[in-house]
Amino acid sequence: MAVAATTPRAAPRGGSTLTKRQARLALIMLAPTFVVLIMVAFYPLARTFSASFTDEPFARPEQVVNNVGLANYQRLLGVQLAPFPEGSRLRDVLTPGYQRVNTFDLFGQRFLLAAGDPMWLQAIINTVLFTVISVALELVIGLLVALVVNTQFRGRGVMRAVMLIPWAIPTAISTVLWRYMLNDNTTGALNALLNAFGIIEPANSIAWRSQYPLLSVIIVDVWKTVPFMALLLLAGLQIIPNDLYEAAAVDGANVPQRFFRITLPLLMPTVLIALIFRTLDALRVFDVFYILLPNTTRSMATHNYEMMVSSYQYGYASATGVLIFIIIFAFTILYMSLLRVETD
């Protein structure tokens, strides 16, 4: 009896038809997302980048726009540090187009610090100091709050809800309230509180916003953002198994040992994510500076706003915006590389 040989059927060329259909359907479904991203993200960014090489004014379409090349970036990035001996004249040392920022003594010699845009240089310093100090305080205080509300006690649910009130209040409204609380005289709530406890005299009321502008902004931001940091850290604390603490207690570990050996290592991924979120948000801070310290102490974002809206320099403000984007992007890469954030 003859057995008929069967020839295996060749697979269709180009792979599975079903796979192709699924890939085509995915592209069709993602097409609207790509269009929206191009409209709301890529086009404004490209428009800003192209305008940064011009002297385009803001809200004045009748004026002629000229290409200035890298002039805007040279002004923003131009910094001069030169010896400034006693008896020297400023015009003999200062580079044309630069403005004096400060003079200081170092190793027995006097130096001059100048910049193409001194207010931009000061805005960078203000923003970096604000970011480092406020994020550090928010992390420490937020961790303490998270540890407290993570314990078992009566009214814990109410406490968790109440701690979110500062975060729930819009930033503009809370900053306006703090502006009145930080008034220079005893009508300010903070000065009145210090006066009530005998820490200061009514005649020696502290002018918070003029004497300590950065401190004032940091106080407002820490009060506003600690609940957000505490909420993120609380979520990380709740995924740590209680069995680990029970086993450590049986082995004789005290509270500090359990915190540094169990809580902190297991909480570190959440801490890193919280740091990334808050650092990137603090670097682009605008509303707190603009409302609390109007045009006196600037951040990078408020300086960008003033250059565009108040000075009508859209091209120069665009260059400022590009540099802010680069600085924030660099911080993101630095965090992800140094802190070894997983990207999978």
Q: What is the mean pLDDT of residues 24-36?
A: 85
Tokens of 79: 């910094």
Q: Which residue has the tokens 């002039």?
A: 71
The share of the chain scoring above pLDDT 70, in percent, equals: 93
Q: What is the mean pLDDT of residues 257-279?
A: 87
Q: What local confidence, expressed as pLDDT, does residue 12 receive?
A: 52
Q: What local confidence, expressed as pLDDT, does residue 133 receive?
A: 95
Strand order in the sheet with 99-106: 79-83, 109-115, 99-106
Higher pLDDT, 185 or 318: 318
Collapse the DSSP code of 100 into the 3-class scheme (helix H, G, I; strand E, B; otherwise coil) and give the result: strand
Band the pLDDT of 173: cuts 50, 70, 90.
Answer: very high
Q: What local confidence, expressed as pLDDT, does residue 249 receive?
A: 83
Whole-prediction pTM value? Answer: 0.82
Angstrom distance (rounded) from CA 174 to CA 169: 6
Angstrom distance (rounded) from CA 31 to CA 209: 50
What confidence tens digit (pLDDT) does each residue in 85-137 have?
887 788 778 888 888 888 888 878 888 888 888 999 999 999 999 999 999 99
Contact (Cβ atoms closer than 8 angstroms) between residue 55 and residue 68 = yes
Does position 67 have pLDDT exceeding 60, yes or no? yes
What confidence tens digit (pLDDT) does each residue in 225-260 have?
999 999 999 989 888 888 888 888 888 888 888 888
Q: What local confidence, expressed as pLDDT, does residue 337 receive?
A: 77
Q: What local confidence, expressed as pLDDT, does residue 132 receive?
A: 92
Angstrom distance (rounded) from CA 156 to CA 145: 12
Q: What is the mean pLDDT of residues 286-308?
A: 90
Q: What local confidence, expressed as pLDDT, does residue 1 receive?
A: 43
Contact (Cβ atoms closer than 8 angstroms) between residue 135 and residue 279 = yes
Question: What's the half-sphere exposure (Cβ side, CA atoms, 13 Å) at 99?
Answer: 10
Does position 341 have pLDDT exceeding 80, yes or no? no
Q: Which one-letter DSSP state was computed for residue 10?
A: P
Q: What is the mean pLDDT of residues 16-38?
A: 83
Angstrom distance (rounded) from CA 81 to CA 94: 9
Q: What local confidence, expressed as pLDDT, does residue 2 receive?
A: 46
Tokens of 172: 């503009």
Q: What local confidence, expressed as pLDDT, does residue 139 receive?
A: 94
Q: Which one-letter DSSP state was computed for residue 261?
A: I
Does position 3 have pLDDT exceeding 70, yes or no? no
Collapse the DSSP code of 114 into the 3-class scheme (helix H, G, I; strand E, B; otherwise coil) and give the result: strand
Band the pLDDT of 317: cuts 50, 70, 90.
Answer: very high
Angstrom distance (rounded) from CA 321 to CA 123: 13
Higher pLDDT, 164 or 343: 164
Q: Within the chain, what is the greatest distance between any pair of CA atoms? A: 119
Does position 203 have pLDDT exceeding 70, yes or no? no
Average pLDDT, the chain: 84
Q: What local confidence, expressed as pLDDT, does residue 198 receive?
A: 79
Q: What is the mean pLDDT of residues 154-170?
A: 84
Between the alpha carbon of residue 108 and those of residues 88, 114, 250, the distances in Å are: 16, 20, 61
Band the pLDDT of 343: cuts 50, 70, 90.
Answer: very low
Alpha-helical segments (H) within the chain: 17-37, 43-51, 71-77, 90-93, 118-149, 156-162, 165-168, 171-181, 189-196, 208-211, 213-238, 242-250, 255-258, 264-283, 287-292, 300-305, 314-338
Question: What's the half-sphere exposure (Cβ side, CA atoms, 13 Å) at 111?
Answer: 11
Q: Which of these, 231, 227, 217, lies nearest to 288 by C-alpha position?
A: 217
Domain boundaries, the chain: 79-115, 119-338
Q: What local confidence, expressed as pLDDT, does residue 125 receive?
A: 92
Would you tell me how many other CB atoms lie within 10 Å of the CB of residue 239?
Answer: 9
Q: What is the mean pLDDT of residues 180-203?
A: 80
Name every residue whose Cβ is closer than 8 Å to that of residue 102 and which is 6 or more positions away in sequence.
Answer: 113
Q: What local confidence, expressed as pLDDT, does residue 344 receive?
A: 44
Does position 207 have pLDDT exceeding 70, yes or no? yes
Would you tell me how many other CB atoms lie within 10 Å of the CB of residue 200?
Answer: 17
Note the CATH architecture for domain 119-338: Orthogonal Bundle (1.10)
